[in-house]
Structures are given as C-alpha cells and as structure tokens.
Amino acid sequence: MMRRLNRHTLLAFAGLAVGIVGLLVQWTADPGKFSAAQGFFGLAFPPGILFIAVAGALSAATARWWWHAVFSVFIAFWIAGVGGISGQLTPNLLSSNPGTVAGNVVMTAGLLLAFAAGIASMLRARRLARA
C-alpha cells in the first residue's frame, strides 16, 4: 500500500528538482566543463543530474516506508555537504563565469532544501508509523 506523500517529502522532491535546475544552469553557462571526454562514464552532461534523479526515483519507489526520504537526504549531503567540505564547490562559487556561480548557488540551495525537508519527512513519517 502506497502511503500519501507528506508535504515535507514533496518539498524534498522540489529541492531535488531545483538542484537539477542549478546543474542545468551550470551546464548552459559552461558546457565544455561537462564534455564527454571529461565526463562521468563518457556522459556529456553533468553526472549530478543522473545521481539526483536516481535518488528521487528511489525515494518515490520506497514511499511506503517511513525512511523513504533517506535517498534524497544522502544525495543532498553528498553533493552539497561533502562537495563543500572537500573544496569541490568552492571553485564554482568563485568562478569568473556568472552562470556557473548562479547555477551552483541554485543547486546548493535546492539540495539544502531537499536535505532539511527529507529529514523532516522521515521524522514525521516515523512518528505516524509509531502511532
């Protein structure tokens, strides 16, 4: 039986979508950065789009369980959190290309929303599962 998605889950999905939009802005601003030769498995587009989409699909596929948003939380933490800690986001935020900077800000904001909303979604769903 599929559980009705709560508003926090919907916000997590919206955050993932905004993250993808941010990556599309970065790709549009500097497509050479994502050339097939430099890309992930020969992809000529930002691989983060695929990772975020898969995380969203896994969250949707597991919506019957209270922990379903863990995939959204994980990908947001991996890209924004670990990317920030490891210094991978900083060059894009300091880029001379305004599209790269804007896309990075949009992506990070969306992923932070997905992270916070995903945690709130799991907490709410867990409380309801115990009731």
Each residue's pLDDT tens digit, 47-99: 899 999 999 999 999 998 999 999 999 999 999 999 999 998 888 889 999 99
What is d(CA 38, CA 85) in angstroms, rounded to the nearest whole number? 23
Name, in order, each residue with C-beta under 8 angstroms of 123's C-beta and a sequence gap of 6 or more. none
**Residue whose structure tokens are 């695929």:** 50
pLDDT of 19 higher than 90: yes
Query: What residue ranges do the domains of the chain occupy?
Result: 7-27+46-130
Whether the pLDDT of residue 116 is over 50: the answer is: yes
Residue-wise pLDDT for 20-56, tens only, equals: 999 999 999 988 887 655 555 666 788 899 999 999 9
Sign of CA dihedral 57, 10, 77, 24: positive
- Using CA atoms, how far apart are residues 53 and 73, in angstroms rounded to an integer? 13
pLDDT for position 31: 85
pLDDT at position 38 is: 56
Per-residue pLDDT at 128 exceeds 90: no
Helical residues (DSSP H) of the chain, grouped into ranges: 7-29, 47-61, 70-76, 83-85, 90-93, 98-130
